[in-house]
Structure 1
Amino acid sequence: MSLADTVTTAARNAWALTFGDGIESPEPTPSTLLSEAPHRELRRYDGAGPDAPAVLLVPPLAAPAFCFDLRPDQSLARFLLESGRAPYLVDYGDITFDDRRMGFETWIDDILPEAIRQVSADRGGRPVDLVGWSIGGVLALLTAAADQTLPIRSITAVGAPLSYDHMFGARELRSLARLDGGRTATTAIRALGGVSAQITRFAYRATAWNRELERPLFIASNLADTATLARMETIDRFQNSLPGYPGRFYNQLWGRFILNNDIGKGGLRLGEREIALAAVTQPVLLVGGPQDAITAAAAVAHGTRTLTGSPDVRYETAPGSHLGILIARDTTWTSLDKFLSDLA
């Protein structure tokens, strides 16, 4: 590229980032809406053959569902289509104060089982492979454990926290909670009706504070590199779309997971009910990230000790951030492709 072309590209990119509509418009993978209801919109990505095995993508709360389809070269949905599978997506939508009574039970007993059954029916009754990211992976595992009649063939959990003893900051939070038994945080969350999207976005950025500090220099250094700026813009769009948590769900997360580490002990207690990870009888793939600043790799690997009922528990690692391991084509996607191919 000549100097004149470089200057022109840099000027165009600078305008797009400041006064324009951005470097690159979103280009979602074409999909078909199968069902629409509050917090359970179900989509099938277009292009799969009639005999392609179904893969249901399970997002976490406090993350936009398009995490599986960020852009054409960072889209797990497109990868699954290209590898001969039929990907589906369940989208929870925005979480508001009116949703404050939604808890883990809402997803484990209602939203996810309904989506799994619909996907299976859409594929002629064949079983479904679940792929969950972060808490989405935990929800997928707990759903399978809670109801073994569901048509589930396998579960993949990427960056899923399966032991809060290994989570960053958990021990410090427990020390603070001992001062009042954790009641202050619980009462505050209940009064607010949950954790707002603004708090979620701030907390996510805080885990990558160095990226925020280095952002001006990064932009200046790559002003003529349109592709790099487009990827940065995609991450910004993702962060700016993070939703919040319902109050009941977050209080369960705070009390049962962070303070008591139910999941690390092998399951989840909900009142008098216990859901044991040992009840999962499907093959499981776990993917952890050694550089993940949100879910420590050891927290993911802990699942190899608690998923004792599964005939095949694989643990793989991938480089990158919490989001980075989800879009790691050469590691996570390759491991997933092999895992699903071996099932066939």
Structure 2
Amino acid sequence: MLDSATLNTVTRNAWSLSFGSGVDEAERTPATVLHDEPHRQLRRYGPVADRPVLLVPPLAAPASCYDHRPGQSLVAHLIANGRTPYVVDYGTMSYADRALGFEHWIDDIVPDAILRVSEQHDGSPVDVIGWSLGGTLSLLTCAAHPELPIRAIAAVGTPIDYRRIPAIAPLRAIGKITGDRPLTAATRILGGLPAPLVQLTYRASALQRELTKPWFIARNLHDTETLARMDAIDQFMAEMPGYPGRFFDQVCRQLILRNALNTGRVRFGSHTIELADISAPVLAVGGTTDVIAPIAAVERITSVATGTTVRFESAPGSHFGLLAGPEARETTWAHIEEFFQSATR
């Protein structure tokens, strides 16, 4: 039988999940907007200190991925370690953005953010952290623009060899016969992959979690912290924006079907980028239970980024858990801090 305190907790949590705004409202680290244009808002967290770090999000994920919740915020961790974190926020995507592709990020948005961060620190080189496709953008930007003041890059959950991702094997098999049209026909009409579809796809990648969620809630109604972590994940997925049409087409054609990153060479429009041209030291971190970017898909960077030193580490966690899970502080974040301390350029 439950005591009165536990019963009150169970009742409060059940009400919050069913009728309230959730168990735990998001608490974001205070930030200062330094530059604000469409798809490139630049924010600084905390006061200006030494060692600037630019956080590069993937598309179709909110920039809050780096500032998830208390105790699971890479932003707060970086500040506590004497670094100055910045984030470039792309905002939402609409039909009007359908022509935006990889080139807009690699040749414009990400380089612009790096230069602005460097200027805030009297021209000092910038460390870069990219999660998922944010890591892809970071690596390709460095390869395409060796003149940029990038000191080191940490790519977290960033797949290189897409053949090693079992979840997309059926798409690759169909694509060998039909090309990219079955994957991209609808997005060309819609101008991209709408946010609701992105959110549905992410939930589908964690199908067991979704199916067992009611039982999980029932078993943990007395545990506010456990429910708060679950609730924060749900809120994170609900904030996921969509993909621009051209960008999604390029993901399907170049990364999924042609597996171009695995060859070390990728072409966007008239621009060919060689991963061997990456000159900044690279850390790649793969998650042991990541089904979106399995370890074998991530580790391939050690073979294709041949122009620099590349370090690979594994850490426990799913795709997002690798970046912001309860164990990230002792694993992924520790690897990043150690790497940045040892990296030289």
Question: Which SS does the other structure have where 2:164 is aligned?
Answer: coil
Partner in structure 1 of residue 185 of structure 2? 187
Partner in structure 1 of residue 160 of structure 2? 162
C-alpha contact 1:127 1:151 (8 A) present in aligned 2: yes
Question: Which SS does the other structure have where 1:81 is aligned?
Answer: helix
Partner in structure 1 of residue 70 of structure 2? 72
Q: Does 1:84 align with 2:47?
A: no
1:82-105 per-position Cα deviation (integer Å, ceiling 9, x unaligned): 011110000000011110000000
Q: Does 1:315 align with 2:312?
A: yes
Question: Which SS does the other structure have where 1:325 is aligned?
Answer: helix
**Paired letter, 2:175:** A
**Paired letter, 1:93:** G
Give the Cα–Cα distance (whole angstroms) in 2 for the partners of residues 296 and 234 of structure 1.
24
State the 1:250 CA deviation.
0.6
Partner in structure 1 of residue 343 of structure 2? 343
- Equivalences for residues 1-344 of structure 1 within 5 A: 3-49=3-49, 52-310=50-308, 312-327=309-324, 328-343=328-343
State the 1:280 CA deviation.
0.4
C-alpha contact 1:168 1:295 (8 A) present in aligned 2: no
C-alpha contact 1:286 1:301 (8 A) present in aligned 2: yes
Give the Cα–Cα distance (whole angstroms) in 2 for the partners of residues 205 and 278 of structure 1.
35
State the 1:72 CA deviation.
1.3
**Paired letter, 1:340:** F
Question: Which SS does the other structure have where 1:132 is aligned?
Answer: strand
Give the Cα–Cα distance (whole angstroms) in 2 for the partners of residues 170 and 239 of structure 1.
20
1:34-93 per-position Cα deviation (integer Å, ceiling 9, x unaligned): 0000000000001343xx100000000010110000111000000000011110000000
C-alpha contact 1:156 1:285 (8 A) present in aligned 2: yes
C-alpha contact 2:285 2:313 (8 A) present in aligned 1: yes
1:231-263 per-position Cα deviation (integer Å, ceiling 9, x unaligned): 111001011111111000010111111111111
1:293-323 per-position Cα deviation (integer Å, ceiling 9, x unaligned): 111111110000000001x210000111100
TM-score by length of 1: 0.96
Q: Tell me how many residue pairs correspond in the alignment.
A: 340
Unpaired segments ≥5 residues, structure 2: none
C-alpha contact 1:161 1:299 (8 A) present in aligned 2: yes
C-alpha contact 1:101 1:247 (8 A) present in aligned 2: yes
State the 1:199 CA deviation.
0.7
Identify the range of structure 1 (225-234 vs 162-171) with the bigger mean alpha-carbon deviation. Answer: 162-171
Give the Cα–Cα distance (whole angstroms) in 1 for the partners of residues 228 and 280 of structure 2.
39
C-alpha contact 1:264 1:302 (8 A) present in aligned 2: yes
1:113-151 per-position Cα deviation (integer Å, ceiling 9, x unaligned): 000000000111101000000000000000000011111
1:153-208 per-position Cα deviation (integer Å, ceiling 9, x unaligned): 01110000111121224432122123322223333321111111111111100011
RMSD: 1.2
Give the Cα–Cα distance (whole angstroms) in 1 for the partners of residues 13 and 178 of structure 2.
52
1:255-289 per-position Cα deviation (integer Å, ceiling 9, x unaligned): 11111111110031123321001000111000001
Give the Cα–Cα distance (whole angstroms) in 2 for the partners of residues 308 and 234 of structure 1.
39
Work out the percentage of aligned pairs sharing the same amino acid: 50
Identify the range of structure 1 (163-172 vs 140-149) with the bigger mean alpha-carbon deviation. Answer: 163-172
State the 1:224 CA deviation.
1.2
Give the Cα–Cα distance (whole angstroms) in 1 for the partners of residues 25 and 167 of structure 2.
37
C-alpha contact 2:176 2:257 (8 A) present in aligned 1: no
Identify the range of structure 1 (323-332 vs 40-49) with the bigger mean alpha-carbon deviation. Answer: 40-49
**Paired letter, 1:13:** N
TM-score by length of 2: 0.96
Unpaired segments ≥5 residues, structure 1: none
Question: Which SS does the other structure have where 1:326 is aligned?
Answer: helix
Give the Cα–Cα distance (whole angstroms) in 1 for the partners of residues 110 and 339 of structure 2.
22
C-alpha contact 2:58 2:135 (8 A) present in aligned 1: yes
